[in-house]
Amino acid sequence: MRVLGIEGTAWAASAAIHDTETDSTFIETDAYEPESGGIHPREAAEHMSEAIPKVVETALAEADGPIDAVAFSRGPGLGPCLRTVGTAARALAQTLDVPLVGVNHMVAHLEIGRQQSGFDSPVCLNASGANAHVLGYRNGRYRVLGETMDTGVGNAIDKFTRHVGWSHPGGPKVEEAASDGEYVELPYVVKGMDFSFSGIMSAAKQAYDRGEAIEDVCFSLQENVFAMLTEVAERALSLTGSDQLVLGGGVGQNERLRAMLEEMCDQRGAEFYAPDPRFLRDNAGMIAALGAKMVRAGDTIEVEASAVNPNFRPDQVAVTWRGEDESVAVWREEGTEVVGAEATVEIGDERVTKRRLPKSYRHPELDATLRRHRTVLEARLTSEARRHGVPTPVVYDVDPQEGTLVFERVGDVDLREQLTVERVQDVGRYLATIHNAGFVHGDPTTRNVRVGMRTYLIDFGLGYNTDDAEDYAMDLHVFSQSLAGTSDDAEQLQREFEDAYGDVGSEAVLTQLREIEGRGRYQ
């Protein structure tokens, strides 16, 4: 089978021929380069109109035989660009009299890494200009396990480089400048398996404006932003039980990011794969390759139903080309030592010792600060929650410098292994209770709840005191994402969880949760 793929979500006008018989992919790309600032939608669309016919013509000339299907990037992306590509794809499919396939751009990033790596069911970190999220496959869809709460990672970096007067794209220029830099302190924001880049970008601009060396600011930007992405990827591996990670997106071309991810995976005994750079940046090769899988699964569309979707989320895609038995979550029996996302836990008969070991992928200064800060918070907030009537383990000992805590052993297994309505309702009431007391858990996933005769909250290391409804709603959002990634009946459990929260907590927090869910960071 030969599939013509056409990509044009933002800056790359690209066409490709993917031949399934020879497992070869030819890619022709004409990139839009703005004269100043970032991507201008109107100019980008004009570029698409001029470049798409040329790259398609070049790709077709390379095809070793007839075309069997046409695949195009249906979204997410810039509306004017997507419409140009959609029109071209429809015309070609009708002219060639072949099936038409509408591909989700972000799922294509994931699938090309899964296909080339040979991994069975990996977690995927997508790091691109307009997007940043972690995905895992479960029950016929790619579930969003974590995502950016404000802007895509590449766009965030570009905002900083525009501030200092550098041309688009900014990522490669930051990477080059960082090679001569030293570490300066910048914000680090991880909320469960979500992250935020707005604070660190503002701080980086301010650091530059007050005279910090540009090399040092660029170095620290990379160290913090990429450590945030790596930490969240590790949390997703820990949550799902997966030991395979693939990288997608144009920011994945950065050598420092790839090195961090590979080092993290090595440290926890997981496998890591990053595709060749031509498949990391926006390209039609991944569109054609996924298009071939969709055609074989009968997942084609009629021309009249092929409208593009600028806000096309990856978790809206019915994954017809995979079986439900391929879900990413694979449980393992716990022994006396459990490796979590940021700590190793030794389980005794009555006590549990938690050690936040150094993370070699993080800058030593950043790592030491995070380990110390999180150890202190975990001890304090675990005890504080207990004082407000929430079942938590007793804290017996704490050593902030070594990152070590000793707890009472509670529960028999993690909630993810025994998800029931009653236990999920417990979590809803417990979170409402601590929110009423003025603090958040910070990472309430189905991995950080222990169950047995009772339901217990554990691992408050990302918690903090706050009176902001947004922060409380983020707690709920994190738990909801973990349900989607670990439950076969996530929607029903989500409703029970929210109802239980509403019985004790504020309706304003649930309203804010709806606002968070509607932000649509995939655009």
pLDDT of residue 328: 74
Give the residues across from 19 on adjacent strands.
Answer: 2, 24
Q: What is the pLDDT of residues 18-31, one digit of tens each?
A: 999 999 999 999 98
CATH superfamily name and code, 117-278:
ATPase, nucleotide binding domain (3.30.420.40)
pTM: 0.93
Contact indicator for 207, 477 with CB cutoff of 8 Å: no
Rounded to 5°, angle at Cα 263 from 131 and 459: 75
The 3-state DSSP class for residue 347 equals: strand
pLDDT beneath 50, residues of the chain: 333, 521-523
Residue with tokens 């800060």, as numbered in its chain: 373
CATH topology of domain 337-517: Transferase(Phosphotransferase); domain 1 (1.10.510)
Is 3.30.420.40 the CATH number for 2-111+280-309? Answer: yes
Which pLDDT does position 16 carry in this prediction?
98
Angle at alpha carbon of residue 436, lines to 432 and 197, rounded to 5° = 80
Query: Catalytic amino acids?
Result: 443
- Residue 428's pLDDT is what? 98
User: Tell me, what's the pLDDT at 334?
Assistant: 57
pLDDT digits (tens, 9 = 90+) for 355-408: 999 999 999 999 999 999 999 999 999 999 999 999 999 999 999 999 999 999
Tokens of 327: 């879900």
Quote the CA–CA distance of 414 and 395 in Å, as a whole number: 19
**Where does CATH 3.30.420.40 sit in the chain?**
2-111+280-309, 117-278
pLDDT (0 to 100) of residue 523: 39
CATH 1.10.510.10 positions along the chain are 337-517
